[in-house]
Amino acid sequence: MSAKWYIVNAYSNFEKKVAEAIRSEAVLKGLEERFEEIIVPTEEVVEVRRGRKVNAERKYFPGYVLVKMDMTDEAYHLVKNTPRVSGFLGSGKRPLPVP
């Protein structure tokens, strides 16, 4: 399997939902072997809200989901047709893998 990383453009604040939707849709369509990893890179930060310290999760790339997948037509359309996905990062007809 020649899985490569791709960047999927998701609606802001829906990154986790999009990642879940891609995972479950892949299982439903029997394409889970095409998707190696689906992540929303985050970090733990301490924010001060109303004078209190609060642990919060901050996204490294808001609006993006990183997907390590084997790019086939079925896998491409599965991701492209996922709700709240506006497409892949890259120009042209086919998304470019991240080096």
Q: Report the DSSP beta bridge partners of residue 68.
A: 5, 37
The CA distance from 64 to 11, in Å, is: 8
Question: Range with the lowest mean pLDDT among 40-44, 54-58, 95-99?
Answer: 95-99
Domain spans, the chain: 7-65+72-87
Domain 7-65+72-87 has CATH 1.10.1840.10: no
The CA distance from 63 to 14, in Å, is: 8
Given a cut of 90, is residue 26 above it in pLDDT? Answer: yes
Given a cut of 90, is residue 55 above it in pLDDT? Answer: yes
At 69-93, the pLDDT tens digits run 999 999 999 999 999 999 999 877 7
Tokens representing 37 are 């990893």
Mean per-residue pLDDT of the chain: 94
Tokens representing 71 are 């790019």
pTM: 0.88
- The pLDDT score that the predictor gives to residue 1 is 60
Q: What single-letter amino acid sits at 92? A: G
